[in-house]
């Protein structure tokens, strides 16, 4: 039973870490725009955008 | 698929042209790549910025730029100077539909020199741009870029930071997170205690577990239950009781009795039950608050888009965009052709026709001359005007309407939500049952009072209205979400319940059953060639009647060199001579046939031929006839109350098959008519859009207004529906009826569950394990039942 003396505090600390992380993410506004965050990751490639090439057919929708 | 659907939504007429505009996807007339100069401009801007990838990335067609129609914005309220000296502009955007729009706007703005950050929130459609330099007119320039890209910026009315709803929502999120953390950890300890009941766990270990649970539970209850405590306290202080009273009592008692049991080395502790209850209830509360918050912010968005500044002449004689509230009495305001008047005033200069339908319901334009009084909300049709602002405060028409609305609301009986009515009768019964249990165990059976008290508290815990408290919000969340996807914004929490009771629907005519804009009447005397000729002139003009002709003819070429004669019409030097489109006197002498229906008209004069007459009327919404017939079939009594003249109202009533109609009703008359209906015991839904409907909207049991309504009407309405169709109204009533049924089922189930659980608890068999199982299973059943509402039963027409 002495193992409990380690395991329970460890479980509690891990849970608390999760809670703190969640509260921090709420505070820093990461839940403000759930729709946008999903789309943003697809476009933000972090690189300069491709040079403007005359596109042959603009009316191409990616479905 | 999405692109064609979105394009069709923007479209007025679809001629099925092969390849659409290269920017917005709408059909293009002729050989060009763009449907208009605004689209070509947007495309060129995107191309110059090197953002052509937008066209490959978007999954919905771009919004059609409105071009020069855009009214100037008063950006002073939207710009904020940050502590570090940089400036921040916050705007609401219309037309942002997908991630590619976000990317396009952000990338385009970041290319501007000095801009440090640009961020678009796709959920709330808000833009915030920060820049460092203090260049004059930078905000206007940035807003101009957004507008050139085809999005409509608007200034938000209230900042999101100080919004009390937003803060309450944040508090709920934090409370929910804390309760969730506590529930999981206490459950971890509880499961080991439960499995130790077979005998493998010693008393000392169990007490240690209980102490640990108490250590976690007590601060969490103190923190997470605050929303419930506050609400319960307020209700008790006002001498009422609501659902939060038994919740608060149950949670507090469960925690304190468990603490006491723990101190006595007892076998059972209800810490897990108390915290689980809190967690489930907080989930329900949070979802409810968020759904309502989303609907509210969408409604505010609509209002902000309609809130245009007025062009006020300053001392130097320059026209500056100013918020209507900041225009002083005596100032001169310019009103362009086709613009909605923003302030009450008298005409100082200019002669024009005024569409007064929003204020009076009258669909026929009224002439306005110097000295005439005009009110905010009216639309200036034919020529620019100068207004002198006359009144503010008490003197305005708006103040009069607000007084009527307040009077109407005082007469409106305070509606008590179903959940609160249930709580009112539920709370005493439960508390009486717990007291009886205690007395019977002590006096009759002769149990020690400590044990008897423990059993009585178990009764309170097991009857703690977890499922009952979730029964209503769960259904409302699902219903609000479903309605929102259908373009209906539900603003009031009790609107669904009130809608489910409705048996009478009262409509306003102009702007509600109709679109509130003139449409060309079909006339066999007009052939396609004439219509096309008229349209080539009309496309150059912003006059509502010109636009009606352009709409009827579909996309096509615009004639070069069309001259607009203010207050008269359009003139174009054609190959065969001058072509004129305008009012009677402008095209020359015309032969007016007898028996004319009074209404808006335009004449087309071509060289060598008789002038041709176009007539217009405010046509009903496309699906109005079908929806009204459907509502009648479902057993609603329908009525039409309009401020318009009798022949027009009668014609509309006959066309839609509404037997009960009244014409020429003023705002007070409308409110009085509704009061009379309510006095007969009828439950009335009022649907209206105008300033003259606002009092009636407040007087009705429940009210709805289209998204095009004036802001007073939208604020007064419980629900706002968007789009050109009336079908959302039928959907709203259908969802309300189904939601009502589901709420009753949920309440029935919760009461049945309590009926089964209470005897078990009274006999003293309600261990924490049973309480936890019963609580979570009943909550899941209630939630699952509510989710059935999100399934669409039939395909909408």
Of A22, A26, A39, the CB nearest to B99: A39
Domain CATH number, residue B82: 3.30.70.100
Residue B94: Cβ-neighbour burial (10 angstroms; 0-12, 13-18, 19+): middle
Helix boundaries (H) for B197-243: 203-224, 226-237
Per-residue pLDDT of B481-512, as tens digits, reads 888 888 888 887 788 888 988 999 999 888 88
Nearest Cα residue in chain B from A9: B212
| Beta bridge partners of residue B617, listed in sequence order | B519
Is B170 within 8 Å of chain A by CB?
yes
Q: At what angle do helices B449-462 and B727-762 cross, to 10 degrees?
A: 160
Measured CA to CA, the distance from residue B570 to residue B587 in angstroms comes to 10
Structure tokens at B471: 């029964």
The mean pLDDT value for B760-772 works out to 81
Task: Name the band, by pLDDT with cuts 50, 70 and 90, for residue B393.
Answer: low
pLDDT for position B550: 84
- Among B156, B180, B214, residue at a domain's last position: B156
pLDDT for position B124: 78
Nearest Cα residue in chain B from A25: B174
End-to-end CA distance of chain B: 19
Measured CA to CA, the distance from residue B636 to residue B274 in angstroms comes to 46
Give a yes or no: residue B244 inside a domain: no
Give a yes or no: residue B564 inside a domain: yes
Per-residue pLDDT of B92-112, as tens digits, reads 888 787 778 888 888 888 888
Query: Chain A neighbours among B 59-118 (CB < 8 Å)?
Result: 59, 98-100, 102-103, 107
Closest residue by Cα to residue B280 from B411, B464, B155: B464
Q: Do B58 and A61 make contact, defined as CB atoms within 8 angstroms?
A: yes
Which of chain A's residues have a Cβ under 8 Å away from the Cβ of B108? none
C-alpha torsion B389→B391→B397→B402, nearest 10: 130
Residue B402: strand, helix, or coil? helix
The mean pLDDT value for B561-581 works out to 80
- Among B89, B122, B156, residue at a domain's last position: B156
pLDDT for position B452: 85
Residue B261 predicted with pLDDT over 80: yes
**CA distances (Å), B322 to each of B326, B342, B390, B514, in order?**
7, 10, 16, 31
Nearest Cα residue in chain B from A63: B59
Measured CA to CA, the distance from residue B315 to residue B267 in angstroms comes to 84
- Find the length of chain B: 797
For chain B, what is the mean pLDDT?
80
pLDDT for position B226: 92
pLDDT for position B1: 38
| Beta bridge partners of residue B120, listed in sequence order | B127
Q: Which residue, among A14, A42, A43, would best test binding to B if mutated, counting the most B CBs under 10 Å from its CB?
A: A43
pLDDT for position B214: 93
pLDDT for position B630: 92
Tell me, yes or no, whether B15 and B147 share the same domain: yes
Is B17 within 8 Å of chain A by CB?
no
Tell me, yes or no, whether B9 and B142 share the same domain: yes
Which of chain A's residues have a Cβ under 8 Å away from the Cβ of B120? 36
Tell me, yes or no, whether B394 and B528 share the same domain: no
Angle at B630 between CA B520 and CA B689, to 5 degrees: 55
pLDDT for position B177: 93
| Beta bridge partners of residue B605, listed in sequence order | B580
Task: Name the band, by pLDDT with cuts 50, 70 and 90, for residue B796.
Answer: very low
Per-residue pLDDT of B591-617, as tens digits, reads 666 555 566 778 888 877 778 888 887
Give a yes or no: residue B276 inside a domain: no
Residue B358: strand, helix, or coil? helix
Phi, psi of B564 (to 5 degrees): -100, 120
Structure tokens at B98: 């997908």
Strands B660-662 and B637-641: parallel
Instruction: Identify the DSSP state of B151.
Output: -
CA distance B471 to chain A (A): 26
SS3 breakdown of chain B: % helix, strand, coil, rounded to 5?
50, 15, 35
pLDDT for position B409: 65
Query: Chain A neighbours among B 704-743 (CB < 8 Å)?
Result: none
End-to-end CA distance of chain A: 59
Contacts by B758-761 with C-beta closer than 8 Å and gap 24+?
A: B758/B433, B758/B459, B758/B462, B758/B463, B760/B462, B761/B437, B761/B455, B761/B458, B761/B459, B761/B461, B761/B462, B761/B463
pLDDT for position B592: 65
Higher pLDDT, B311 or B7: B311
Residue A12 predicted with pLDDT over 60: yes
Residue B341 predicted with pLDDT over 60: yes
Measured CA to CA, the distance from residue B776 to residue A15 in angstroms comes to 22
CA distance B720 to chain A (A): 23
The mean pLDDT value for B465-487 works out to 83
pLDDT for position B15: 39
CA atoms within 13 A on the CB side of B744: 9
Residue listed under structure tokens 């968007």: B722
Measured CA to CA, the distance from residue B223 to residue B652 in angstroms comes to 59
Q: Do A26 and B170 make contact, defined as CB atoms within 8 angstroms?
A: yes
Structure tokens at B533: 């000729």
pLDDT for position A63: 39
Domain CATH number, residue B342: 2.70.150.10
Domain CATH number, residue B533: 3.40.1110.10
- Top mean pLDDT of B153-167, B257-271, B526-540 is at B257-271
The mean pLDDT value for B238-254 works out to 83
How many folded domains does chain B comprise?
Answer: 3
CA atoms within 13 A on the CB side of B257: 26
Higher pLDDT, B316 or B717: B717
Residue B753 predicted with pLDDT over 90: no
The mean pLDDT value for B2-6 works out to 41
Higher pLDDT, B416 or A39: A39
Residue B732 CB partners (closer than 8 Å, separation 6+): B483, B488, B499, B704, B719, B721
Using an 8 Å Cβ cutoff, are B25 and B1 in contact? no
| Beta bridge partners of residue B424, listed in sequence order | none
Residue B427 CB partners (closer than 8 Å, separation 6+): B241, B245, B246
Query: Chain A neighbours among B 188-247 (CB < 8 Å)?
Result: 188-189, 205, 208, 212, 216
Q: Active-site residues of B: which are they?
A: 508
Higher pLDDT, B520 or B62: B520
Higher pLDDT, B65 or B575: B575
Residue listed under structure tokens 């209205």: B465
Is A33 within 8 Å of chain B by CB?
yes
pLDDT for position B221: 94
Give a yes or no: residue B414 inside a domain: no
Tell me, yes or no, whether B380 and B526 share the same domain: no
Instruction: Identify the DSSP state of B513.
Output: I
Measured CA to CA, the distance from residue B439 to residue B433 in angstroms comes to 10
Measured CA to CA, the distance from residue B702 to residue B733 in angstroms comes to 11
- Among B616, B651, B686, residue at a domain's last position: B616
Question: How many CB pairs below 8 A link A and B?
Answer: 95
Helix boundaries (H) for B35-78: 37-48, 53-57
Tell me, yes or no, whether B18 and B151 share the same domain: yes
Is B47 within 8 Å of chain A by CB?
yes
The fraction of chain B above a pLDDT of 90, given in percent, is 9
Higher pLDDT, A23 or B306: A23
Give a yes or no: residue B197 inside a domain: no
Tell me, yes or no, whether B524 and B398 share the same domain: no
The mean pLDDT value for B256-268 works out to 86
pLDDT for position A62: 44
Using an 8 Å Cβ cutoff, are B54 and B97 in contact? no
Give a yes or no: residue B119 inside a domain: yes
Which of chain A's residues have a Cβ under 8 Å away from the Cβ of B99? 36, 38-40, 42-43
Give a yes or no: residue B583 inside a domain: yes
Residue B649: strand, helix, or coil? helix
Give a yes or no: residue B229 inside a domain: no
CA distance B123 to chain A (A): 5
Which of chain B's residues have a Cβ under 8 Å away from the Cβ of A19? 177-178, 181
Q: Do A39 and B102 make contact, defined as CB atoms within 8 angstroms?
A: yes
Closest residue by Cα to residue B434 from B465, B462, B457, B404: B457
Q: Do A8 and B100 make contact, defined as CB atoms within 8 angstroms?
A: no
Which of chain B's residues have a Cβ under 8 Å away from the Cβ of A49? 50-51, 53, 107
CA atoms within 13 A on the CB side of B516: 27
Residue listed under structure tokens 């009790």: B494
Residue B143: give the domain boundaries: 1-156
Per-residue pLDDT of B108-138, as tens digits, reads 888 888 888 888 888 778 888 888 877 777 8
Higher pLDDT, B62 or B330: B330
Per-residue pLDDT of B62-79, as tens digits, reads 666 654 455 567 777 778
């Amino acid at each position: 039973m002495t193992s409990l003396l380690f395991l329970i505090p460890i479980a509690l600390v891990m849970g608390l870490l999760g809670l703190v992380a969640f509260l921090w993410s709420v505070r820093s506004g990461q839940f403000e725009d759930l729709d946008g965050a999903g789309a943003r990751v697809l476009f933000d490639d972090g690189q300069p955008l491709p040079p403007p090439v005359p596109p042959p057919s603009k009316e191409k929708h990616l479905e | 698929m999405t692109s064609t659907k979105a394009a069709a939504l923007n479209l007025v007429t679809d001629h099925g042209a092969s390849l659409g505009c290269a920017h917005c996807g709408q059909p293009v007339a002729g050989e060009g790549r763009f449907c208009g100069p605004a689209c070509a401009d947007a495309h060129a801007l995107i191309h110059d910025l090197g953002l052509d990838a937008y066209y490959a990335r978007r999954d919905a067609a771009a919004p059609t730029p409105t071009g020069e129609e855009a009214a100037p914005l008063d950006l002073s309220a939207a710009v904020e100077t940050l502590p570090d000296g940089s400036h921040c502009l916050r705007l609401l955007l219309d037309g942002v539909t997908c991630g590619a729009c976000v990317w396009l706007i952000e990338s385009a703005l970041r290319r501007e020199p000095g801009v440090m950050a640009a961020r678009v929130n796709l959920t709330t459609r808000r833009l915030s741009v920060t820049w460092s330099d203090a260049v004059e007119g930078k905000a206007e320039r940035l807003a101009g870029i957004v507008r050139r890209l085809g999005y409509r910026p608007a200034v938000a009315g209230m900042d999101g930071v100080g919004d009390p709803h937003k803060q309450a929502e944040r508090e709920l999120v934090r409370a929910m997170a804390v309760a969730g953390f506590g529930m999981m950890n206490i459950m971890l300890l509880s499961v080991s205690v439960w499995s130790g009941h077979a005998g493998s766990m010693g008393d000392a270990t169990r007490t240690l577990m209980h102490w640990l649970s108490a250590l976690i539970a007590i601060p969490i209850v103190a923190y997470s239950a605050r929303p419930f405590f506050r609400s319960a306290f307020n209700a008790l202080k006002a001498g009422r009781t609501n659902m939060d009273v038994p919740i608060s009592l149950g949670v507090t008692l469960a925690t304190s009795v468990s603490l006491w049991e723990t101190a006595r080395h007892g076998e059972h502790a209800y810490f897990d039950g108390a915290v689980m209850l809190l967690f489930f209830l907080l989930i329900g509360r949070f979802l409810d608050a968020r759904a309502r918050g989303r609907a509210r912010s969408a409604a505010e968005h609509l209002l902000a888009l309609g809130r245009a500044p007025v062009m006020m002449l300053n001392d130097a004689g320059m026209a500056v965009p100013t918020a209507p509230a900041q225009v002083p009495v005596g100032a001169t305001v310019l009103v362009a052709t086709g613009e909605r008047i923003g302030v009450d005033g008298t005409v100082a200069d200019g002669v024009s026709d005024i569409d007064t339908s929003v204020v009076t319901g009258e669909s026929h334009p009224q002439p306005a001359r110097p000295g005439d009084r005009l009110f905010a909300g009216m639309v200036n049709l034919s020529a620019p005007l100068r207004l002198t602002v006359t009144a503010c405060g008490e003197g305005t028409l708006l103040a009069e309407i607000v007084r009527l609305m307040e009077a109407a609301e005082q007469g409106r009986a305070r509606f008590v939500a179903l959940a609160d009515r249930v709580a009112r009768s539920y709370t005493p019964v439960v508390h009486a049952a717990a007291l009886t249990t205690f007395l019977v165990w002590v006096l009759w059976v002769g149990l020690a009072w400590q044990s008897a008290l423990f059993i009585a508290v178990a009764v309170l815990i097991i009857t703690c209205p977890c499922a009952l408290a979730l029964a209503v919000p769960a259904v409302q969340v699902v219903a609000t979400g479903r309605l929102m996807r259908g373009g209906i914004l539900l603003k009031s929490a009790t609107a669904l319940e009130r809608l489910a009771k409705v048996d009478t629907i009262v409509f306003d005519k102009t702007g509600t059953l109709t679109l509130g804009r003139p449409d060309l009447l079909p006339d066999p005397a007009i052939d396609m060639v004439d219509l096309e000729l008229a349209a080539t002139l009309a496309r150059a003009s912003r006059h509502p009647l010109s636009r009606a002709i352009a709409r009827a003819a579909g996309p096509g070429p615009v004639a070069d060199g069309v001259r607009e004669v203010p207050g008269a019409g359009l003139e174009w030097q054609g190959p065969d001579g001058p072509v004129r489109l305008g009012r009677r006197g402008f095209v020359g002498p015309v032969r007016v046939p007898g028996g004319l229906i009074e209404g808006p008209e335009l004449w087309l004069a071509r060289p060598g031929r008789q002038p041709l007459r176009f007539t217009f009327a405010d046509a009903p919404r496309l699906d109005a006839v079908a929806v009204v017939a459907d509502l009648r079939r479902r057993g609603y009594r329908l009525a039409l109350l309009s401020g318009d003249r009798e022949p027009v109202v009668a014609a509309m009533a006959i066309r839609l098959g509404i037997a009960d109609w009244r014409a020429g009703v003023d705002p007070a008359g409308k409110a009085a008519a509704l009061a009379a209906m309510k006095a007969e015991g009828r439950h009335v839904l009022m649907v209206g859009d105008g300033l003259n409907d606002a009092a009636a909207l407040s007087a009705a049991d429940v009210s709805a207004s289209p998204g095009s309504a004036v802001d007073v009407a939208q604020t007064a309405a419980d629900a706002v529906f968007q789009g050109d169709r009336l079908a959302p109204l039928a959907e709203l009533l259908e969802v309300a009826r189904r939601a009502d049924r589901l709420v009753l089922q949920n309440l029935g189930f919760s009461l049945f569950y309590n009926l089964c659980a209470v005897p078990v608890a009274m006999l003293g068999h309600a261990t924490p394990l049973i309480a936890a199982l019963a609580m979570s299973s009943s909550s899941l059943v209630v939630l699952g039942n509510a989710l059935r509402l999100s399934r669409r039963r039939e395909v909408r027409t």
